[in-house]
């Protein structure tokens, strides 16, 4: 979807490529990815509760567990993306 929208905006050199970000503890990307994941979790918790998928107490427990695990010194984390757009500067 993104490549089509970018082409519609007039970009000519649009390509897709796979990407990976290592965010293991101690790496440069750990904190930015950790922070993004925390924000995502915080945003989805009310939705999950409204859908009746879990109680607030259960979600809070899971959230705290996720935060603790993401801060573990032995964390090995990688984010993989199958689509990453490379935008050319040539505009038609």
HEC string of 43-72 equals: HHHHHHHHCCCCCHHHHHHHHHHHHHHHCC
CB distance 62 to 68 below 8 Å: no
CB atoms within 10 A of CB 41: 16
**Integer Cα distance of 59 and 53 in angstroms:** 9
Tens of pLDDT, residue by residue over 10-54, are 888 887 777 888 989 999 999 999 999 999 999 999 999 999 999
Helix, strand, coil content of the chain in percent (nearest 5): 45, 25, 30
Confidence of residue 85 (pLDDT cuts 50, 70, 90): very low
Q: How confident is the model at residue 79 (pLDDT cuts 50, 70, 90)?
A: confident
Exposure string for 1-18, b = 16+ CB within 10 A, e = fewer:
eeeeebeeeebeebeeee
To the question of pTM greater than 0.85 for the whole model, the response is no
């Amino acid at each position: 979807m993104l490549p089509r929208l970018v082409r519609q905006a007039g970009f000519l050199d649009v390509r897709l490529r796979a990407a990976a970000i290592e965010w293991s503890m101690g790496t440069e990307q750990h904190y930015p990815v950790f922070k993004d994941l925390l924000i995502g979790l915080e945003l989805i918790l009310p939705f999950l509760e409204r859908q009746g998928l879990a109680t607030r107490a259960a979600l809070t427990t899971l959230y705290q567990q996720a935060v603790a695990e993401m801060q573990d010194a032995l964390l090995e984390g990688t984010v993989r993306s199958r689509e990453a757009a490379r935008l050319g500067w040539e505009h038609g």
